[in-house]
Chain A
Amino acid sequence: MFNAITQIFVITFMNLRNLPQRVGTSSVAVFGVACVVGVFIGVLSMASGFQRTMVSAGADDVLIMMRAGATSEMSSGMGYEQTQQIANLPGIAKRDGKPVSSPELFVIVDIPMRNKEANANAPLRGVEAMAFEVRKSFNIIEGRNFEPGKNELIVGRGAQKQFANLNVGSVVKFGQTEWTVVGVFESGGGLAESELWCDAKILQNAYRRGNSYQIVRVKLDDENSFSTVKEAVAADPKFNLDVKRESAYLAEQSEPLSKFIKMVGYPLAILMALGAIFGAVNTMYTSVSNRTREIATLRALGFSAMPVAISTLVESLVLAIIGGIIGSVVVYLVFNGYTVSTLNFASFSQVVFDFAVTPDLLVQGVIFASIIGFIGGFFPAIRAARLPVATALREV
């Protein structure tokens, strides 16, 4: 037993030390695995970044109320009286004696994208003072907040990066109304950072929405008040509202796109992995056949089949893991934090998000590489072990 282990070490070490001699074929395997792992992580980091943006700022103690049957803010609507009645429901938190309830108006404006010729549907949200209280970690990072009653905008960090001409001090025109950008805000990396915000009253006028809103966000006074509020809404037939936790609502909204990325991403990852495995098997077969005499000589010297096989497997694993690490590092350096935007199907507006190459994904990438390496080395290892010594030695 001890002998076998020594043999494994000796051969494996020898093998690895000789790797530089086979640098040509080996580097192709490394490169192949690196690319595949890179792509694998790249696609998943896009999905995870999107997920993070959509879901992270969603709180469990914030409820969203929309007209019953509405699938997003876009298709909801309610009058001013109703928003007042909502604010007075039991179970809603109070600050300075006022209920933390934020009626909001949501429209889409056509705005040019930065660095692109295309226009995009940017979300524009009309809010009142309580909007800043129901959201966690809301912060103005540049400029100041808008003044009620004025045509002023504050823009999310993501929106500012992705849409043209949204620097503090710029003037933008939507239809016949001109707006001045007065500040940039962040909101815990969440969806709100893709939006432009202004005073709800001004937006109602500009878009002839009378005194109506589309959605009300309320903060619960206690995590457990969800059912209190929900029952109160259900008990009063004049409400006709759907009540959801903000976290659940955002998860729902992100579902179609996440599903799409995964639906396309996973089968492709599997295909790519297959391709990489074929590449790795090929490389290892070549490596074994290049060393036919060497292996036969070892066997003739008394080394048994097992250590030879294991050393081949280890070589394949090492190559694949090197590839995996290179792939992960490159993707991390290139893609992490890279900002992109796409259409959120549910609200018909742009979501700006960053690629998120999380440590979790890096680990997954290296595991993925090891699997490729293991399968890629397995069959060549068996072949190396089964090599008939006499014929192999005769082979020139």
Chain B
Amino acid sequence: MYYLQFLLSNLGRKKVRTILTLLSIMIAFLLFGLLRSLAAAFDQGAEIAGEDRLVSINKVSLIQPIPESYLAKIQSLEGVDRATSANWFGGYYQDPKNQFPQFPIVAEDYFEIYKEMIALPDEQMQAWKKNRIGVVIGKALVERFKWKIGDRIPLKGMFPKEDGNTTWEFVIEGIYEAKNKSADTSAMLMHYDYFDEARQYGKGTLGWLIIRVKDPKQSAQVAAAIDAMFANSPAETKTSSEKEFAKSFAKQFGDIGLITTLILGAVFFTMLLVAGNTMAQSFRERIPELAILKTLGFSDVAVMLLVLAEAIVISLIGGLAGLLLAKFFISGAAESMAATLPGLNLSNSMMLFGIALMFAFGLLTGIIPALQGLRLNIVAALRRR
């Protein structure tokens, strides 16, 4: 207790300098928090994707369709628990700027396969199944467009209907929620049957297949079996675990994410270097003082620990302030960004990592002066003035 008081009064000696140092460290950790959350939001697709789910796409590219008949063939394969499909609808609401994902799917199969991620109240599911032009939407869409159950939503889609009209009208029958904090709730799900019947071309084709395997350990085998089954057919498939699929998709953003990370990493370390230098310097100035402490009977180790403790306290105060600020910003932005960047969140494990970094930084900046304090020769130090 006595030491802590001593420590704090030391911090108050040169208030301006201490405050500036604290602010620099705060900014560094604020950046750290924001950056890590952003990077995590980009990667989160891969995080939440399950190992027991496979995704099958046309080998030529994601946009090439797969014949509907493949689904039954895959369903009968050994090791496959359940298979379903999804398509692109590629529509927007009122203005081309209002784009969001829409997938024609088979209601029950889709919600069964993603049951640990999203949930829809049972009565809404029943109502939805009864309405051909019904859709369900995720929570994030509710926030974005202020829609509610019963609203009629006209969407401009990339698929024309049989009469050539590209405006489709849907009725919201339900709102699904995320069971997992980072699950995406920015999509609209519609009935595949209705979509397929009403569209002008491409009938009987699927966008991609989602397959749940009985045993996650066999997913590689099942994936290989699926691809082998359609090898040399007009529509060859490429099957991978959903996790790999999400990762390869994240890699498409590629360089931009990587470069931003590198650049911001550089800034983080620069900030710390500047702050660390100031701290080290303020310790250097106080070497005669340390000598006095020793004269008063403080042991070598006590002096060393005192210096280290002060460095760590500064680092922790500044760093925690920065991280909390980041947390505050992120939770504020998460809702408004949910549509473009779902799953923005500063997780606890990241906070812990940040705190570990603060300790490391405190140690690093304090260690040299601390060692100097340890080895300090009283007479020489007092004479140094």
Binding site for B on A (CB under 8 A): 24-25, 28-29, 31-32, 35-36, 38-39, 42-43, 46, 67-71, 74-77, 107-110, 113, 116, 118-121, 174-176, 207, 240, 252, 260-261, 264, 268, 271-272, 274-276, 278-279, 281-283, 285-286, 340-343, 348, 350, 396
Interchain Cβ contacts under 8 Å between A and B, 12 examples: A35-B266, A70-B158, A74-B158, A107-B61, A113-B254, A264-B260, A268-B264, A275-B23, A276-B274, A282-B21, A285-B16, A342-B256
| Chain A nearest Cβ from B220, distance in angstroms | 17
Task: State A42–B28 Cα separation when bound (angstroms).
Answer: 19
Can you list the 6 inter-chain pairs with the closest CB atoms, starting with the nearest? A75-B158, A340-B255, A279-B274, A118-B251, A275-B27, A175-B60
Task: State A118–B46 Cα separation when bound (angstroms).
Answer: 14
B236 within 8 A of A: yes
Q: Given A28-B277, A264-B38, list of 20 further CB < 8 A pairs?
A: A25-B281, A32-B273, A35-B266, A42-B259, A46-B259, A69-B157, A71-B90, A107-B61, A108-B61, A108-B62, A110-B61, A116-B251, A175-B64, A275-B23, A278-B21, A285-B16, A341-B255, A343-B254, A348-B62, A348-B63
| Chain A nearest Cβ from B182, distance in angstroms | 19
CB <8 Å contact, A282 and B278: yes
With known contacts A278-B23, A279-B24, A341-B254, A109–B61 Cβ distance under 8 A: yes
With known contacts A46-B259, A69-B166, A35–B17 Cβ distance under 8 A: no
CB <8 Å contact, B63 and A108: yes
Task: State A132–B58 Cα separation when bound (angstroms).
Answer: 31
Q: B residues within 8 A CB of A108?
A: 61-63
CB <8 Å contact, B158 and A275: no
Task: State A109–B57 Cα separation when bound (angstroms).
Answer: 12
Contacting residue for B273 out of A28, A107, A283, A348, CB 8 A: A28
CB <8 Å contact, A286 and B281: yes
Task: State A77–B99 Cα separation when bound (angstroms).
Answer: 19
Task: State A121–B61 Cα separation when bound (angstroms).
Answer: 7
Contacting residue for A282 out of B31, B38, B274, CB 8 A: B274
Q: A residues within 8 A CB of B38?
A: 264
Q: B residues within 8 A CB of A276?
A: 274
Task: State A173–B156 Cα separation when bound (angstroms).
Answer: 35
Task: State A25–B27 Cα separation when bound (angstroms).
Answer: 20
With known contacts A31-B273, A75-B90, A268-B31, A175–B254 Cβ distance under 8 A: no
Task: State A74–B158 Cα separation when bound (angstroms).
Answer: 8
Q: B residues within 8 A CB of A24?
A: 277
| Chain A nearest Cβ from B381, distance in angstroms | 16
Task: State A109–B236 Cα separation when bound (angstroms).
Answer: 13
Task: State A175–B58 Cα separation when bound (angstroms).
Answer: 9
Q: B residues within 8 A CB of A342?
A: 252-256
CB <8 Å contact, A274 and B251: no
Task: State A31–B267 Cα separation when bound (angstroms).
Answer: 11
Q: A residues within 8 A CB of B63?
A: 74, 107-108, 348
| Chain B nearest Cβ from A55, distance in angstroms | 18
CB <8 Å contact, B248 and A119: yes
Q: A residues within 8 A CB of B64?
A: 107, 175, 207
Q: Would you list which residues of chain B between 65 and 100 have a CB under 8 Å from chain A?
A: 90, 92, 96, 99
Flag B196-211 by CB within 8 Å of A: 1 or 0 each: 0000010000000000
